[in-house]
């Protein structure tokens, strides 16, 4: 198809410019290559479009009729390219972003409002889901991922590291005591996160690589870290997870951090990922730049 379009463009430009050499210069190719494209076009059509002489090109009847249609086609393509280019450069339209639920509710929703004040012609749709989503299949412009990214062709921009923590309410710790060691956790009510990809809810993992593990028990399991934090605030037990979820409650004293004799497991980082092959539209690039500037300052409180 590209060769056919090139042949059509060579043909139209040659007529407008009065010769193949002029058309070739305009298109950045050799006169020989331009002649080949025109010959291939005529061979494909099975007809002669122009009669060549040493001084000029003369349209045949078939060539004159074909030229009218070719110019319409080339004009349509030029307008389509211009429209697509203008749309990609304008910071406007619907921006669909998939975000882990806790992070989206706690931080991204407010950032989206701030972004809209900067770019009022952009509408943001947040997909709040803790499960992996396929960007292409779901037609997402961007996704925010938390953890260690698997090998992927997606374009990823690291925003900030994620820290782990163990915390509980002051009342719970006053009643049950403060654990000092990994072994002490076995005597506590440990709230379980059911979407943990590395361990089961009955196992808490420590050391950066999660190699040190301890069996725990708990009366509440959930697939949402925010729900576990609220239960911990209510005195239900210990919660072990990303510090950014518990940070507001820690800041107010509703939760107290616990330090034990083990390093917390490395949770990786927060990433913004986009399509591997698509050139991001201006709205997506603007949102990414905004996140790169806005998220790290928030992390100072995590």
Q: Does a structural domain hold residue 6? A: yes
Q: Are residues 137 and 64 both part of a single domain?
A: no
Domain that holds residue 150: 93-155+274-299
**Mean predicted confidence (pLDDT) in 120-145:** 89
CATH at residue 110: 3.40.190.10
SS3 assignment, position 257 = strand
Q: Are residues 281 and 251 both part of a single domain?
A: no
Q: Are residues 213 and 238 both part of a single domain?
A: yes
Q: Are residues 104 and 252 both part of a single domain?
A: no
Q: What residues form DSSP beta bridges with 262?
A: none
- The DSSP element (H or E) to which 232 belongs, if any, is helix 225-233
SS3 assignment, position 301 = coil
Q: Does a structural domain hold residue 266? A: no
Q: Are residues 249 and 281 both part of a single domain?
A: no
Q: Are residues 192 and 133 both part of a single domain?
A: no
Q: Are residues 61 and 120 both part of a single domain?
A: no
Q: Does a structural domain hold residue 268? A: no
Looking at 89, 105, 127, the residue that finishes a domain is 89
Q: Are residues 237 and 181 both part of a single domain?
A: yes
Q: Does a structural domain hold residue 175? A: yes
Q: Are residues 44 and 82 both part of a single domain?
A: yes
CATH at residue 22: 1.10.10.10
pLDDT at position 84 = 67
pLDDT band (50, 70, 90) for residue 83: low
Residue 14: which of 24, 6, 5 has the closest Cα?
A: 24
Q: Does a structural domain hold residue 291? A: yes
Cα–Cα distances in angstroms (integers) from residue 291 to residues 121, 143, 162, in the given order = 18, 12, 16
State the total domains in the chain.
3
Q: Are residues 151 and 280 both part of a single domain?
A: yes
Q: Are residues 82 and 98 both part of a single domain?
A: no
pLDDT at position 191 = 95
Rg over CA atoms, the chain? 31
Looking at 45, 69, 89, the residue that finishes a domain is 89
Estimate to the nearest angstrom the gap between the alpha carbon of 42 and the chain centroid: 46
> By mean pLDDT, which of 19-28, 33-42, 147-156 is the weakest?
147-156
DSSP label of 183: G
**Mean predicted confidence (pLDDT) in 171-193:** 96
DSSP label of 105: I
- pTM: predicted TM-score of the whole model, two decimal places: 0.68
Q: Does a structural domain hold residue 265? A: no
| pLDDT tens figures, 236-287 | 999 999 999 999 999 999 999 999 999 999 989 999 998 876 677 889 999 9
Q: Does a structural domain hold residue 263? A: no
Q: Does a structural domain hold residue 230? A: yes
Q: Are residues 230 and 172 both part of a single domain?
A: yes
**Mean predicted confidence (pLDDT) in 182-194:** 94
| pLDDT tens figures, 42-68 | 898 899 998 877 567 888 988 888 888
Looking at 70, 89, 108, the residue that finishes a domain is 89
């Amino acid at each position: 198809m590209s060769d056919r379009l090139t042949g059509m463009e060579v043909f139209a430009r040659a007529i407008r410019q009065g010769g193949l050499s002029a058309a070739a210069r305009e298109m950045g190719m050799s006169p020989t290559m331009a002649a080949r494209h025109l010959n291939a076009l005529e061979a494909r059509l099975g007809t002669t479009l122009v009669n060549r002489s040493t001084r000029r090109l003369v349209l045949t009847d078939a060539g004159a009729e074909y030229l009218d249609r070719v110019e319409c086609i080339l004009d349509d393509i030029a307008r389509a390219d211009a429209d697509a280019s203008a749309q990609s450069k304008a910071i406007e339209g619907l921006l669909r972003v998939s975000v882990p639920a806790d992070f989206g509710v706690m931080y991204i929703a407010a950032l989206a409002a701030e972004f809209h004040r900067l770019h009022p012609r952009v509408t943001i749709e947040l997909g709040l889901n803790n499960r992996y989503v396929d960007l292409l299949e779901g037609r997402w412009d961007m996704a925010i991922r938390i953890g260690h990214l698997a090998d992927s062709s997606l374009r990823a921009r690291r925003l900030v590291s994620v820290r782990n923590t163990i915390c509980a309410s002051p009342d719970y710790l006053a009643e049950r005591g403060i654990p000092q060691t990994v072994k002490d956790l076995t005597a506590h009510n440990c709230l379980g996160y059911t979407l943990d990809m590395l361990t089961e809810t009955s196992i808490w993992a420590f050391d950066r690589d999660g190699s040190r593990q301890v069996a725990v028990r708990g009366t509440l399991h959930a697939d949402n870290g925010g729900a576990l934090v609220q239960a911990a605030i209510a005195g239900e037990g210990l919660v072990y997870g990303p510090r950014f979820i518990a940070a507001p409650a820690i800041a107010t004293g509703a939760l107290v951090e616990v330090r034990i004799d083990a390093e917390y497991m490395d949770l990786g980082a927060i990433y913004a990922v986009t399509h591997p092959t698509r050139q991001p539209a201006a709205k997506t690039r603007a949102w990414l730049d905004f996140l790169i500037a806005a998220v790290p300052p928030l992390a100072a409180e995590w």
